[in-house]
C-alpha cells in the first residue's frame, strides 16, 4: 500500500508480517525523557540556500525529521526549529540536494539521552 502526504510525496507502508516483528515505539513517550540544553545564540542547523528549497518539489524535510524541526513558513521558506533537534542525523543524508547545514551543537549544548 502507498501512503500519500499532502504534497503528493509517496511512502510505502511496511508489509504486515514485517510490522508484526517491530517493537511498538511511541516517539512522544520517549521524547519526554530527553533533556535539552539549548544554545540560544547559535543554531547547529541551517538551510544553505533557500532558492534551492524553492525548487525542491516534494520538500521531504517536512516529513523525515522525527520531531518536525522543518516547517514551511508563511513566506514559503523552510523554517528550522533547531531547538527541538534530537541529533539523529537524518537530515544530513535525506535532503536530496544536501542543502541542510549540520554540525554538532557546541560543547555543553544539545540533547542528552537517558539510558536504562
Smallest gap from residue 106 Cβ to ligand SF4 (A): 15
C-alpha torsion angle, residues 23, 63, 114, 37 (rounded to 10): -170
Smallest gap from residue 16 Cβ to ligand SF4 (A): 27
Q: Which is nearer to ligand SF4, 15 or 108 (CB)?
A: 108
| 91 touches ligand SF4 (CB under 6 A) | yes
Compute the C-alpha angle 30/99/62, nearest 5°: 40
The helix (H) or strand (E) run that includes residue 53 is helix 50-55
Among 9, 36, 39, 52, binds ligand SF4 (CB under 6 A): 52
Q: Which is nearer to ligand SF4, 52 or 109 (CB)?
A: 52
Buried b (16+ CB within 10 A) or exposed e, 87-99: eeebbeeebeeeb
Among 43, 90, 101, 109, binds ligand SF4 (CB under 6 A): 90
| 111 touches ligand SF4 (CB under 6 A) | no
Amino acid at each position: 500500500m502507498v501512503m500519500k502526504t499532502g504534497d503528493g510525496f509517496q511512502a510505502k507502508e511496511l508489509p504486515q508480517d514485517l510490522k508484526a516483528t517491530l517493537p511498538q515505539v511511541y516517539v512522544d513517550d520517549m521524547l519526554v525523557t530527553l533533556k535539552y540544553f539549548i544554545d540560544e545564540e547559535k543554531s547547529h542547523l541551517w538551510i544553505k540556500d533557500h532558492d534551492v528549497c524553492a525548487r525542491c518539489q516534494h520538500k521531504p524535510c517536512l516529513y523525515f525529521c522525527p520531531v518536525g524541526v522543518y516547517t514551511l513558513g508563511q513566506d514559503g521558506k523552510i523554517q528550522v526549529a533547531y531547538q527541538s533537534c534530537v541529533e539523529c542525523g537524518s537530515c544530513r543524508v535525506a535532503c536530496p540536494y544536501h542543502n541542510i547545514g549540520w554540525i554538532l551543537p557546541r560543547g555543553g549544548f544539545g540533547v542528552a539521552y537517558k539510558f536504562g
